[in-house]
Structure 1
Amino acid sequence: MILETFAVGPLQCNCTILGDEEAHEAIVIDPGDDISRIHNRLTELGLKLKQILVTHAHIDHVGGALKLKRLTGAPILMNENDLPLLQIMDQQAGWLGMETPEIAPPDESLKNGLNVGLDSYPAQVIYTPGHTQGSVCLHFAPLKMIFAGDTLFARSIGRTDLPGGNSRQILDSIRTHLLVLPEDTLVIPGHGLNTTIGEEREMNPFLQPWTR
């Protein structure tokens, strides 16, 4: 397995290349920016991109998806409930003083329970609204690994003060869908350091009412 996570763009979004070196295939999760770097790395590794998976439609996670699709032909998958955020991409760019990236609706919606990923490394979509109304996590159960987007961070949770955010909803999503996972599940968040479900049960101050 090839697993490379690196920060892209001014907000340092965690972008991940997950590849199967035997099948020479890969997926990319949250290509928010630095698409030349991502594409060059795929080429260096000899991997054909099969899917572009977007955990939610904030500019730092989705901003480069269409450019990567045009370079590789891979479809973009994102939950349809975040389409309103795509429609205000110019406003999102304005908040950060960035140039508005060209975007397009996804080729397929990341609906709850959908199977995605690679044949050798399958994942299931877990719908976790709260940070945005279309936020999802990607659970690679055989690998004991989950890509949490901006729903859950090491010792923190996603902000809910932007359009589509709901503080009650994000906490309910985490309690209902993430804290029930095995403690040794590796959490790769949308920003910052990796953690585990067990660590967040014990040490995340936002989650203590349910874990004590």
Structure 2
Amino acid sequence: MIHQILPVGPLQCNCSILGDETTREAMVIDPGDDIPRILAILARHSLTLKQIVITHAHIDHIAGAQQLKRLTGAPIFYNQLDLPLVEMMDIQAGWLGIETPEVLPPDDHLADNRTVSIAGLTGTVIHTPGHTPGSICLHLPAENLLLAGDTLFAGSVGRTDLPGGDARTLITSIHDRLLILPDATRVIPGHGPSTSIGAERESNPFLQAKP
């Protein structure tokens, strides 16, 4: 598997480019900005983009998705419970003092347990509400990999003080849906360094008491 992590935009969102070395098909997760750099990575590895996956509809994760779709033809997938956040994209842009990007409803809905796949790579959607109502993580068991969006971080968890956030729901999501994964599962958060399920179960101060 080809996997390149590219921090994009003013908040340095971790955009993941996943590709299969044999089929050269690819998916991009959370293209929040810096689309020319994403396209350059795809070209460098001779990858054809087949899917754009959004973990949640905060502007730093979704702002570049429509541009990337326009340039590649790849459909955009995210959970439709985050559509209220899309409808307030102008307000989100105001938080960062940037122009309002074009963000549209998803081409398809990422429901819990849905399979997301390209030729050679398969992931399962885990719905983890709390940071936003529609937050999802993408688990690729064959690669021992979890793309966690802003649900789980190294030593921390997603913030819940923005519209749609709920602290108790977030912690329940992590305990019930993520901490049941194998300890060795590598976790790529939406921002910051990677970690593992085992490390977070053992030492994350937000997860020591069950909800």
Q: TM-score range by the shorter chain?
A: over 0.9
Partners of 1:80 and 1:12 lie apart in 2 by 24
Aligned twin of 1:142: 142
Aligned twin of 1:98: 98
Aligned twin of 1:177: 177
Partners of 1:120 and 1:43 lie apart in 2 by 18
Aligned twin of 1:199: 199
Contact in 1 for aligned 2:130/2:173 (Cα 8 Å): yes
Aligned twin of 2:14: 14
- CA drift of 1:171 comes to 0.3
- CA drift of 1:119 comes to 3.0
Partners of 1:138 and 1:5 lie apart in 2 by 15
Contact in 1 for aligned 2:25/2:119 (Cα 8 Å): no
What 5-or-longer segments of structure 1 have no aligned partner?
none
The alignment of Structure 1 onto Structure 2 pairs a total of residues equal to 211
- CA drift of 1:205 comes to 0.1
Q: Secondary structure at the match of 2:70?
A: helix
What 5-or-longer segments of structure 2 have no aligned partner?
none
- Residue 60 of structure 2 corresponds to residue 60 of structure 1: yes
- CA drift of 1:23 comes to 0.5
RMSD: 1.0
Q: Mapping of 1:126-141 within 5 angstroms?
A: 126-141=126-141
Q: Secondary structure at the match of 1:16?
A: strand
Partners of 1:85 and 1:169 lie apart in 2 by 18
Partners of 1:174 and 1:157 lie apart in 2 by 9
Aligned twin of 2:151: 151
- Which structure 1 residue ranges, 4+ long, deviate > 2 Å from structure 2? none
- CA drift of 1:22 comes to 1.2
Q: Secondary structure at the match of 1:164?
A: coil
Partners of 2:38 and 2:119 lie apart in 1 by 22
- CA drift of 1:117 comes to 2.7
Partners of 2:139 and 2:21 lie apart in 1 by 21
Contact in 1 for aligned 2:23/2:119 (Cα 8 Å): no
Q: Secondary structure at the match of 2:205?
A: coil
In the TM superposition, what whole-angstrom CA distance separates every residue of 1:171-198 from its partner, at most 9, and x where no partner exists? 0000000000000000000000000000
